[in-house]
Amino acid sequence: MNQGIQSTPSGDEGKLKLAIQKSGRLHDDSLKLLKECGIDISNGVNKLKSEASNFPLEVFFLRDDDIPQYVEDAVADIGFVGENVVYEKNKKIDVVEKLGFGKCRLSIAVTRGDVYDDVNFLEGKRIATSYPVLVQNFLNEKGINAEIHEISGSVEIAPGIGLAEAICDLVSSGSTLFMNGLKEVETILQSQAVLIRNRQLAPGQQAILDKLLFRIQSVKKAKNNKYVLLNAPNDNLQQIISLLPGMKSPTVLPLAEEGWSSVHSVISESTFWDIIEKLKAAGAQGILVVPIEKMII
């Protein structure tokens, strides 16, 4: 293996080896997630690996394109990497958990002046991309014959210099496409960071992974929910409670002022504003919304 990182015997069950991106869009969020999980990692300048001080975890800092191969070869036991890389490399690994960050999409784009009615526009065209496997799979599925030009970096410039009539690249906001005179026309894959694992983990390593997953899932649940406190008139208390399912049921405490109660609950981020509007309409007052750091169910 390159970069000076070598495989260690698979019988070492006392520690889990995690590969993350050494630089780029997933690096900072990967370290942030570990910190939110209560895992302290010292990431010095140009370090290829580091050990957690309070969890049986060793972290390797690698190129994202190499991570699936390292995990398949058991140089790393697990990895944080984009789904786009996982499916492009198509290695013998398992996707264990979606991590909720690094969200983007792999899309085909053409010049803004092109009239694009459907995927048949791509018939016989040249497509520049860093993801030839995923693009070819898409074309095969649609029954389209096109010529794929594999390039790395600066894919958006390909139509402007006559290399291709279309491109396929990762898109987040779409601003880069716009600045290069392109428009998004087909989405091949919705992608985010995922946790992948080697298929031959030893029992002790799997036990450590289970502990890590428990922490990750608790952090994710916390981000997707809000803790809400409000004052409710007792006359409308049952109606207000019916709007707040919480994890089990809302907590209700009497206030010093007669005829009023304090209600505490958890609301999902996806339904938050709709429920808040209904609570106000039902007479709730003094609504406080508090972020949740961890959520253990």
Dump pLDDT digits (tens) for 22-49. 988 899 999 999 999 999 998 766 778 9
Domains of the chain and any CATH numbers: 16-102+192-222 (3.40.190.10), 104-191 (3.40.190.10), 225-291 (3.30.70.120)
CB 260 within 8 A of CB 232: yes
- pLDDT of 60-117, one tens digit each? 999 999 999 999 999 999 999 999 999 999 999 999 999 999 999 999 999 999 999 9
In terms of pTM, does the model score above 0.85?
no
For residue 50, what are its two tokens?
A: 């580091």
Split at pLDDT 50, 70, 90, the class of 157 is very high
CB 284 within 8 A of CB 231: yes
- pLDDT of res. 8: 45
The single-letter code of the amino acid at 212 is L
- pLDDT of res. 5: 53
